[in-house]
A and B are shown apart, each in its own frame.
Chain A
Amino acid sequence: MSLNMHIVVCIKQVPDSAQIRVHPVTNTIMRQGVPAIVNPYDLVALEEALRLKDRYGARITVLSMGPPQAEGALRKALSFGADEAILLTDRSFAGADTLATSYALASAIRKIRLDIPVDLVFAGKQTIDGDTAQVGPGIAIRLKMQLLTYVSKIETIDLDKSELTVQRRAEGGVQVLKTRLPALITVLEGINEMRFATMSDMFRAARYPIRVWDKDAAGIEDISKIGLKGSPTVVSKVFAPTPRTQKAEIIQTQSDQPGDVAATLLAKMFARFPQLRDAIGRRGE
């Protein structure tokens, strides 16, 4: 199988938000012990890239920007079958918003494609910590690649003609789009299931020399466009949401039988919120 396609997959290491807790008294984030994971949406993108590798033969480079610990995310990606891993890490990248992040990642991809031309860039549909969905489009615009967001299926790739046909989730339906390579694809969640890492890939990943690039190695041309300095948006304050003081009215009955509890709830609810009588059982009328 020829290695005639080169795919870059952008991934991010994020705190597992399901395990973040707010301190009940001080209302601050309790970060201790919150495990770092690969952004789950990025794994969907990686799996889609791996499937293209199975189908057409491809070389997959995973790229991440973050602190030195983000190496862990790249090793994870290698264990699933990625071929090459690059970590952008430099103090001057810190504090980047989405515009500055897409500048740094696009610079690195330009550098990568000096060695081997890049046909496709993959990204998750969004991260679970920032939830912005802006970095993928930002990279595509900077690299003048065709942008395909929320892709639910890659139908065909014709490498000879440099053509690509995909299904894209849009409001109210699915678009079938045909475009030219190179393209940037952000992948919809739930379209595939991540494969298991093989033993040999896990061993390879553990020992693999991940390339670590600082701002110079990443080919950053304009240092005023990275990090905090390159970010048009500024966080002016962070605060805890106003805690609700109203607690739930607990429905209890003497018998504690589910049927009695249900009947009591309905009676109380319809008495206090009579408008709900009209709302229920309405569909299809």
Chain B
Amino acid sequence: MSNPTAPTPPAARPAGRRKFELDPRLKAYKGVWVFIEHERGAVHPVSFELLGEGRKLADQLGVELAGVVLGAAGEHTRRFCQDAFCHGADLCFLLEDPVLAQYRNQPYSRALTDLVNKHQPEILLLGATTLGRDLAGSVATTLQTGLTADCTGLAIDPENRSLAATRPTFGGSLLCTIVTLNYRPQMATVRPRVMSMPARNDTRSGRVIEEPLALLETDVVTKLLEFIADDKRAEVNLPFADIIVAGGRGMKRPDNFQLVRDLAEVLGAEVGATRPVVQSGWVSADHQVGQSGKTVRPKLYIAAGISGAVQHRVGMEGSDVIVAINQDASAPIFDFATYGIVGNAMQILPALTAAFRQHLATEKLAV
């Protein structure tokens, strides 16, 4: 018996471990949103970094990119909308109300939750700052949706148009990709300096959609009594530093850490540290670089007495040039540093301080 027509092969199962049908109610959720964080009259750079990333996601989905600006009149909120347009946003949702004058969880959560429920974005991104984490954790709980913290990569799964958010796991030794399937919006936070800064385009503009805040000051339980601004000079600004000199447990004693500070002083650098050093109290926690500390991407990172454990590595491997000083030639840091010096940091650091000081003096003479 011959069969002239080959039977139609069964429809190939789409490669589809993640084959699923989105709940019809959730199909109405469209668009990518970025929460625009601002303080003291300027937008936080992480919001621009997120707009750069959000632009790619929106283009891939064929939807619009929106910024969300919350604040009080007189806080330059219009300028922040314009800033968002220049960094890729198509439109901005603006809530202006005196209750939103300074960040407080309750009014900000309410404002953002109401906006999401009304305009239904499919993706909502926030910076993983103290403000962003406080707000994202609350809003995701109220909306009963998924939130992925501290992402290092964002992409769209072409198969089901869902957000594939990649983040470090096991203290940074592995990466995992997380999806939020039958819940919307899909929320994620990203740390400052993890994504690159998009170029500003001043010719771009967009539309502003204003919404009212359905909350009165008398409804807000928590009151702001005072804001003590950090002393700008004393502030540790690790994420945006051009040069960082960091020390680890290999510095052996707390007083040896002065050698790290001396080199930083000459270079005009910030001082960084590993978690064990911070936990031993040698330096304060705002100096901590790594998985539980700050992510940095300076032009030059000098690591003294740091072995290069994954928890530290994930916070600093975006540095342009890494110089590692370690007594142990097999320390993992030599696997990814640019330059390595196998030796005693207590001797090498002063030598580097002297060499850089001399270099700077000669440069000055040459000018």
Chain A residues in contact with chain B, CB under 8 A? 15, 17-18, 20-22, 29, 40, 97-99, 102, 126, 128-138, 140-142, 146-150, 165, 167, 169-180, 188-190, 193, 231-241, 243-244, 246-252, 256, 258-259, 261-263, 265-266, 268-270, 273, 275-277, 279-284
Contacts and interface: CB of A to CB of B under 8 A. Distances in A.
B178 A233 contact: yes
A281 B179 contact: no
Given A131-B149, A133-B137, A179-B221, A171 B183 contact: no
Given A177-B223, A248-B335, A279 B150 contact: no
Contacts of B350: 258
Among all A-B residue pairs, the 3 with the closest Cβ atoms? A17-B171, A283-B268, A137-B137
Contacts of A231: 146
Given A138-B137, A150-B134, A174-B230, 5 more contacts: A126-B292, A129-B171, A131-B168, A232-B145, A238-B176
Interface string B329-367: 000011111111111000110111011100110010000
B363 A241 contact: no
Contact of A134 (B133, B229, B230): B133
**Residue among B171, B227, B230 with the most chain A CB within 10 A?**
B171
Given A247-B334, A262-B355, A280-B267, A171 B130 contact: yes
A260 to B, nearest CB: 8
A235 B134 contact: no
A147 B138 contact: yes
B170 A129 contact: yes
B286 to A, nearest CB: 9
A160 B225 CA distance: 20
28 contacts: A17-B311, A18-B309, A99-B141, A136-B137, A149-B105, A170-B103, A174-B230, A176-B225, A176-B227, A176-B228, A177-B222, A179-B221, A232-B145, A232-B183, A234-B180, A234-B181, A236-B177, A238-B177, A248-B324, A250-B341, A262-B348, A266-B355, A266-B359, A280-B243, A280-B360, A281-B267, A281-B268, A283-B269
Judged by DSSP, the binding face of A is mixed
B102 interface: yes
B278 A190 contact: yes
A134 to B, nearest CB: 4
- Determine which residue in B133, B284, B360 has the highest number of CB atoms from chain A within 10 A of its CB, and name it: B133
A99 B347 contact: no
Given A20-B170, A149-B130, A174-B227, A232 B144 contact: yes
Interface in B251-267: 266-267
A258 B351 contact: yes
Contacts of B105: 137, 146-147, 149
Contacts of B338: 248-249
A134 B187 CA distance: 12
A238 B174 contact: yes
Given A137-B137, A249-B339, A174 B228 contact: yes
Contacts of B309: 18
Contacts of A268: 339
A29 B176 CA distance: 13
Given A134-B133, A171-B131, A175-B102, A18 B275 contact: yes
B174 A22 contact: yes
